Amino acid sequence: MSAQRALWGNVPPTLRAVSIERRGDTIHFRAVFTSDATDDDVELLSIAAAEVIADFPAPTTIHEEWIRLDPPTKPENLRYLVFLRAEKPYWAEDPE
C-alpha cells in the first residue's frame, strides 16, 4: 500500500511497471520505463521511492533500479507488482 500511495501523481506516460521487494533491511524498488523515458520521468519515480522508504524505520534503506525496456518485451518484476501499464499483448501485434 505504501508503494501504491507513493505513485499518486508520480506516474509518467513512459512508465511500464513498478515492483517492490523487501530483503532484510533493504527495500528493492524497480521501475521499468520505455526507452524514451526522460530524466524527469525517472526523477518522478525517485520521489515515489523516497516516499516509500519514509514509511519504514531506520535502519531500513532503499535500492532504486531503473530499467528502460520497450514493448513487447515483458519486464521481470520483483515479488510485489505495484503498477502495470495496459499494453497490447505481444501476440496481438500485427505481423509485418
CATH number reported for the structural domain that contains residue 33 in this entry = 3.30.70
Containing structural domain, residue 11: 2-84
Look at residue 89 and tell me if it is in a domain.
Answer: no
When pLDDT is averaged across residues 32-49 and rounded to a whole number, the result is 97
Report percent pLDDT > 90 for the chain.
85
Is the distance from CB of 14 to CB of 69 less than 8 angstroms?
no
Look at residue 92 and tell me if it is in a domain.
Answer: no
For the record, the C-alpha cell of 34 comes out as 520505455
The pTM of this model reads 0.88
SS3 label, residue 22 = strand
